[in-house]
Amino acid sequence: MKNLTLKGCQGHLLQSGDVKGITVDSSIDAVFVAVGLSENNPGLTIYKIAQGKEPREFITYDDPRLLSENQEPILIRDMKFLSESSSICIVLSNGEILMIRTEVSPDEDVVESIGDVENGILAAQWSPDEQVFALVTGNSTILLMSKNFDTIAEVDMLEKDLTEFNKHVSVGWGRAETQFRGKRVRAKLRDPTLPEKVDEGKLSPYDSSEVTLSWRGDGAYVSVNRIENGVRRAIRVYNREGALDSISEPVDFMEGQVGWRPSGALIAAVQRGEDDRKTQVIFFERNGLRHGEFTLRDVEDQPVSDVSWNISSDVLAVCYSSMVQFWTRSNYYWYLKQEFRFDSNIKFQWHPEKAYTCYIYSKDKVEILDFENVYSNDTCLPPNDLGVMPVIDGNVLKITPLSLVNIPPPMSLHEYELPFNCRSVSVSSNSDCIFAMGPDQLHRLFVDNWDITSAGNWDIASYAPGLIFKSVVCLSSTEVLLLADDADTTTVIFFNVKDDDLVMQDVHQYEKRIIKATTAVKENVFYLQTIGGDILRYDLATCEMKDVGVKFPAECYSFQACMANEIPVFIGLSRAGRLYADTRLLAQGCTSFLCVGNMLAFTTNKHILKFVCLKGYVDDFFVVDDSAIKDHDERCRNVERGSELVTLLPSKMSIVLQMPRGNLETIHPRLMVLNGVRDNIVKLDYGKAFIISRTHRIDLNLLFDYDPEKFFSNITLFVEQVKRTDYLDLFLSSLKSEDVTKTMYADTFSSRGSSATTCEDKVNKVCEAIRRTLQTSFSKTHLQTVLTSYLCQQPPDVTAALSIVSDLKVENEGKAEEAIKHISFLTDINMLFDFALGTYDLKLALMIAQQSQKDPREYIPFLRAFQKETPLRRKYNIDCHLKRFESALQNLSEIENAFDEVKNFVVSHKLYSEALKLYRYKKEQRKELLLLYANYLKDNGKAKEAAIAFESVGEYDRAIDAFKSAGAWRECLSIMESQSYPKHKIEEAATDLLALCLEKREYNDAGYLNVFYLRNKTEAIQNFCKGTMYAEAIRIAHGSNENLYEAVLLSSLNESFVEASETIADYKGQVKAQTERLQVLRTKKQENPAAWYEGIVDDGTPDDISLASTSMTSNPSLYTRYTGTSQSSRMTRNTARNRKRMERKRARGKKGTIFEEEYLVNSLRRLITRVNETRDEQQRLIEALMRCDMFAQANEIQHGFSQVIDTLREKATFIFSDPVKPVSSNEGLPEQSKSENLPIPQISPFEKFGILA
């Protein structure tokens, strides 16, 4: 749907005339023109036309050999600038080959004759890579030479090749004559295996007998079009080594032009009918078989002199004697995009590198035409964004409003025939008008959705005589701007349409060439771009044109003006794929873009569609990375390979893309859809927002989450707009606790962001709010939605929904059945039946069962069995069936004379607590239940609680046994004393409890038993010393009449002193050894980190033993294993085993392994914990030693323990300041423990006794 628009036209007049050929130096974009070889000018003159300058004579070459002996003119068969040697190669028809150097050294001649070819040269052409030179001689020989003119191959083109060399193989469906065309088509009485007409290769009566050459774009093959021995024309294909590859099949009236498409797909030729009424461009494949054609238009008996493809293979130029037509193909249809007519015989040539630049030269003039292949689309804001797309096809304008229909080219909604071949077309800013411009006429069309009407045709040639009109830009149906080119300037003409008359308002001739013009939405101005990238502003009100101070870093073939922060911003796309916003480079690799409102959309050569929010200043524009696709960012998405933007339709929330072949595809990008939903929520149009979300599968939670406060305050409006019951049901059933504005649909395009308000218990509150609104104003019409609101709560309130159905059953049983059908879709029918049964309404349960797939032979007897029972027994049995045992217990407790059944039920279902609550005012029953509960507790290891229960019901013996089992000696002995048990029984119980305390290392409790119940002070003193209760031990020793102080107390203190001394020594040894080893390890790590992390520590492992895992699929280094994840290694089924093995290695912390440092740090951390835990014990021991006059021992303990603490405080920073890096492995090795995340342990100073200082 692109149009080939004229960007610029330059004409250069050569006074000496007789232009014979041109060539282009792409490096400096200069054109060399060969003039002469005529009767008036027999020599050869080369002119150079530099960019933006007039022609100047470069060199003149006069040589007698250039004079024709037989009066036949000498022609230039090929003229080519060779970039490698900076020379121009000119091939003459008399056989001479000249080399003209454009950069000459002192010892070289400017012109050098390479040599002559006998019998002359009929055709010649260099390969595109300038490595092979092909020419056809006068004696029917094709000669291939290297760039140094060494012969590669010399092949005679023989007549027998036509019969002997035939590679034509058809792998298609065969000829049309053999195809089935319908049973009603009568077949002619003929041999169906033979075609109706077989081409013989007849020569055209208009054939010029010339020979032409054309190379494929990659230089691998060359085609030769010539008459074969006067019989027929054929196209021969040779490879670059000179081997004949194929010969074309016979085609009647084929002429001598040939053009090989650079991409290599087709070879173009011309076929002119015998009656000269129908001229076609026909195509061949490389194997010589025909491959389609199209008919040329407006030929007017002019012979075709040349067919030529541009370098990008998308434009085919057909050159006549005084006319050039430019054709493009889309979806297998050929469009006539441009036509230029001239007064004299012309020749044509494309630029070798610029795809849309060409040269047309006649006898004394060279025209340079620059085109751009762009969409003539409108960029209108809603509601005028119809997406009107005009496509030029000669004098036919194909018009499609893409917002109404998506018709694939070459079809269109409207086809309007103009009185001229269209050159440029423009759509007004509100999509209601189209202006089409021809070479000298302007036509206006009105667009009314489904209708197109003509509204005027005007002659414009008189407004700019001698200029070439190149483009038209319209702002409205009455305001239009025309651009016309002269040699170096552009004339801007502003017209107004008044009373169907075209009135010229203003004319500006600008000194620089203007290449592109566009309109500005919401501004009554035009913006224009010069050839240097400068942006001009043309104000319609004042007719003034001035520079806006913005210049693109590179010339942009497509640009648009948009508003950002109330300031015009210019978006441009250069031929190099660079997308600019004013002077800022937004993106590279861009293939197309569109800008509407505050949204910029563009595609990239990586087939990604991206969006940019045009808010703030240019430097604030943010372009997401390609990787954002993986994060499902709404600002980018993948598109089909090679897709380009055609139009952007904000009101439809869609973008139309064109595929490389030509088909159109309408997509609805998530960002545009979400913006549409958000805008409608802001406008309080919840109905439209809902429809959009439903159509495009947007999570309906967005309707609430985007603005919860607005939703709640407009809940009635929401219900009225959504209205339909099924829509409301869909909304309620889609609710979830998640806030989708923070998870799925974060607003990345506007400054508003997601809602700052969060709603706790969102689902239930929304259901309740909608239900309240429905019950108030829509109770008769939306009962179904009310039921849905109950069932969509979290958890579903099935009971409330069934209650409504139960009430409805009384009023209208038919509606009740409908309600049951509805809720059965929202809830599992079996669960619904159970809930209905749980209401004890058997009729309701029956109605639900009838809607299910349950067998009536099962549920009817089942319900009848319940119906026969008494109400309480029925409730009890229903509860038991539904396993609602607490409710069943309550119903059973209300049945008279059923307490025995209650006890059995409580025991079987362990409902002791519930039963005690029910019988809390019935003393006897409660006592029995409490006894059952006590037995249950004792059997389940809760001896102390069971003992309390036994005690409360007077079962003292069982309570004593239970307390004894629990080790509760105080409770046990207190019961025995309160119940006056015999003394020996108490002592026996105390002895048993003493053994239990000693077993549990509860030495203090053992001491109290010895003192108070067993009266054994010796054992008591020893117990208290072991429990570090030294003060109690001293009290008992001093209070005894026996000699226990020296015999028992001092010896026990001495044992405690020895144990403490050994512990302190162990502490000192561990601190010293581990800190020194840690210092060594960290020194090695600092000196050679690589060796450290590769585990190269001397651990005594033999060199001939491999430590590599056998489960590795590749061979990474140990450094890779310990510092990061390698994609080349994979976890295997041995992962769990490896993990366990490595955990064991970590726990051992073997010396020399990677885990040793971690082990040492964790070991010292545990040591500090132990020191802090024993601090109070050491202080109590020191106090006891001082009280017993053992100051030396006390001083030793205090000094040693404080020394340990001081050392740890001093080393703590060193130990814990260098965290151990986590170790990860691709073999399933676990990460190191999280010691690196733990804080440095706090160690407070040891409080010393001043007496010992």
Residue 1204 lies in a domain: yes
Asked if residue 795 has a cis previous peptide bond (ω within 30° of 0), the answer is yes
Q: Length of the chain in residues, anyone?
A: 1253
The answer to whether residues 334 and 461 belong to one domain is: no
Q: Residue 1242: is its pLDDT beyond 90?
A: no
Question: Does residue 1138 surpass a pLDDT of 80?
Answer: no
Domain boundary among 479, 505, 531: 505
Q: Which two tokens stand for residue 588?
A: 């590279």
CB atoms within 10 A of CB 206: 14
111-125, 1077-1091, 1098-1112: which range is least confident on average? 1098-1112
What is the mean predicted confidence (pLDDT) over 526-540? 91
Specify the pLDDT at position 192.
Answer: 63
Position 463 scores a pLDDT of 87
State residue 725's pLDDT score: 92
Higher pLDDT, 931 or 1149: 931
Do 1168 and 1243 touch, CB atoms closer than 8 A?
yes
321 and 419 belong to one structural domain: no
What is the pLDDT confidence band of residue 391, given thresholds at 50, 70 and 90?
very high
Residue pair 1212/1252 in contact by the 8 Å Cβ criterion: no
Name the band, by pLDDT with cuts 50, 70 and 90, for residue 307: very high
pLDDT of amino acid 384: 82
CB-based contact 390:425 (threshold 8 Å) = yes
- Check pLDDT > 80 for residue 1226: no
The per-residue pLDDT for 752 is 52
Instruction: Report which of residues 390 and 172 the model is more confident about.
Output: 390
What does the pLDDT read at residue 1120?
35
Helix (H) or strand (E) holding 707: none
User: To which residue do tokens 């217990």 refer?
Assistant: 889
Q: Is 819 helix (H, G, I), strand (E, B) or coil?
A: helix
> Which pLDDT belongs to residue 313?
93
Q: 1138 or 118: whose pLDDT is higher? A: 118
pTM: 0.75
Residue 53 lies in a domain: yes
- Report the 10 Å Cβ neighbour count for 937: 20
Flag whether pLDDT at 777 surpasses 60: yes
Q: What pLDDT shows up at residue 552?
A: 94
Residues 1130 and 1193 in one domain: yes
- The whole-angstrom separation of Cα 704 and Cα 722 is 13
Structure tokens at 533: 């990238």
**pLDDT tens for each residue of 855-898:** 888 888 888 888 888 888 888 888 888 898 998 888 888 888 88
Nearest to 90 by CA among 82, 75, 79: 79
Which residues are within 8 A (CB) of 777 and not within 5 positions of it... i.e. 6 or more apart? Answer: 716, 719
How far apart (Å, rounded) are the C-alpha atoms in residues 855 and 876? 24
What is the spatial distance between Cα 542 and Cα 911, in angstroms, rounded to a whole number? 94
Residue 1160: band (very low, low, confident or very high) from pLDDT cuts 50, 70, 90: confident
51 and 102 part of one domain = yes
1029 in any annotated domain: no
pLDDT at residue 987, as a whole number: 83
Pair of tokens at residue 250: 């016979």
Residues 364 and 381 in one domain: no
Say whether pLDDT at 1115 is over 60: no
pLDDT in tens, 729-758: 999 999 999 999 988 888 776 655 445 456
pLDDT digits (tens, 9 = 90+) for 159-196: 888 877 765 555 555 555 566 666 555 555 556 655 66
Least confident of 217-231, 818-832, 1227-1241: 1227-1241
Tell me the mean pLDDT in the region 246-250: 91
Q: Look at residue 894 in the predicted model and tell me its pLDDT.
A: 87
Among 54-58, 213-217, 450-454, 1176-1180, which range has the highest average pLDDT? Answer: 213-217
Domain assignment present for residue 752? The answer is no
Query: Which tokens in the block code for residue 483?
Result: 């651009």
Cβ pair 258, 235 in contact under 8 A: yes
% the chain with pLDDT above 70: 89
Q: Which residue, 367, 366, 487, 368, is CA-closest to 20?
A: 366
CA distances from 929 to 879, 907, 958, 1141 (A): 22, 9, 16, 54
Same domain (yes/no): 344, 483: no
Q: What CATH number is attached to the domain comprising 14?
A: 2.130.10.10
- Please indicate whether residue 1186 or residue 65 has the higher confidence score (pLDDT): 1186
Q: Quick check: 1128 pLDDT over 50? A: no
- Is the predicted pLDDT of residue 1124 greater than 50, yes or no? no
Q: CA distances (Å), 60 to each of 107, 409, 605, in order?
A: 19, 52, 47
pLDDT in tens, 987-1015: 888 888 888 888 888 888 888 888 888 88
- 17: tokens are 């005339």
Instruction: Tell me which H or E stretch contains 1071.
Output: helix 1050-1087
- Evaluate if residue 421 carries a pLDDT over 60: yes
pLDDT digits (tens, 9 = 90+) for 862-874: 888 888 888 888 8
Q: Are the C-beta atoms of residues 871 and 846 closer than 8 Å to each other?
A: no
Residue range 708-733, pLDDT digits in tens: 999 999 999 999 999 999 999 999 99
pLDDT (0 to 100) of residue 1250: 81
Res 767: pLDDT: 94
Pair 362, 436 in one domain: no
Residues 382 and 313 in one domain: no
pLDDT of residue 769: 94
Sign of the dihedral through C-alpha 942, 948, 951, 952: negative
Q: How many domains does the chain have?
A: 3
Same domain, 464 and 353: no
Say if residue 126 is exposed, middle or buried (CB neighbours under 10 Å; 0-12, 13-18, 19+): buried
Instruction: Tell me the pLDDT tens digit for each residue of 782-815.
Output: 989 999 999 999 999 988 888 888 888 888 888 8
Reported confidence tier of residue 16, pLDDT bands at 50, 70, 90: confident
Residues 6+ apart with CB under 8 A from 598: 562, 563, 564, 613, 614, 615
> pLDDT value at position 665?
94
Separation of alpha carbons 869 and 229, rounded Å: 115
Q: What value does the mean pLDDT of the chain take?
A: 85
Helices of type H across 683-761: 686-695, 702-705, 708-713, 715-722, 725-734
* For residues 2-27, average pLDDT: 89
Last residue within a domain, chosen from 446, 477, 505? 505
Q: With 80 as the cut, is the pLDDT of residue 1146 above it?
A: no
CA distance 605 to 660: 13
Render pLDDT for 926-951 as a digit per residue (tens, 0 to 9): 888 888 888 888 888 888 888 888 88
Q: For 657-702, how does the pLDDT look when each residue is reduced to its tens digit (9 = 90+)? A: 999 989 999 999 999 999 999 999 999 999 999 999 999 999 999 9
* Cα–Cα distance, 490 to 441 (Å, whole number): 18
Question: Scanning the structure block, which residue is given the tokens 């885990």?
Answer: 1155
Q: What share of the chain is helix, strand, coil (3-state, %, to 5)?
A: 35, 30, 40
Instruction: Give the end of a domain, one of 338, 370, 402.
Output: 370
Share of the chain above pLDDT 90, in %: 39
617: pLDDT strictly greater than 50 = yes
Residue 403 lies in a domain: yes
Of the ranges 435-444, 522-531, 1141-1150, which is most confident?
435-444
Same domain, 1214 and 1142: yes
Query: Tell me: the pLDDT tens digits for 1063-1092?
Result: 999 999 999 998 888 888 888 888 877 666
Tell me the per-residue pLDDT of 256-306, one tens digit each, with 9 for 90 and over.
999 999 998 899 999 987 766 789 999 999 999 999 999 999 887 788 999
How many Cβ atoms from other residues are within 10 Å of residue 722's Cβ? 23
To the nearest 10 degrees (0 to 180), the angle between helices 798-811 and 829-838 is 70
pLDDT tens track for 469-478: 999 999 888 9
CB atoms within 10 A of CB 530: 20
Q: Is 779 inside a domain boundary?
A: no
DSSP code at position 836:
H
Tell whether 357 and 422 lie within a shared domain.
no
Q: Is the pLDDT of residue 1147 over 70?
A: no
- In the chain, the amino acid numbered 582 is D
Q: Distance (Å, rounded) from C-alpha 990 to C-alpha 976?
A: 11
Backbone phi, psi, residue 954, to 5°: 85, 10
- At 1123, the pLDDT band (50, 70, 90 cuts) reads very low
Instruction: Identify whether residues 258 and 317 lie together within a single domain.
Output: yes
Tens digit of each residue's pLDDT (9 = 90 or more) over 24-49: 999 888 999 999 887 777 788 899 99
Phi and psi, residue 345, nearest 5°: -60, 135
Which residue segment(s) compose the domain that 404 sits in? Answer: 376-489+497-505
Distance CA 88, CA 102 (A): 7
Are residues 22 and 33 in contact, defined by beta-carbon separation less than 8 angstroms? yes
- Report yes or no on 151 lying in a domain: yes
Tell me whether residue 1192 is in a domain: yes
State mean pLDDT over 974-986. Answer: 84
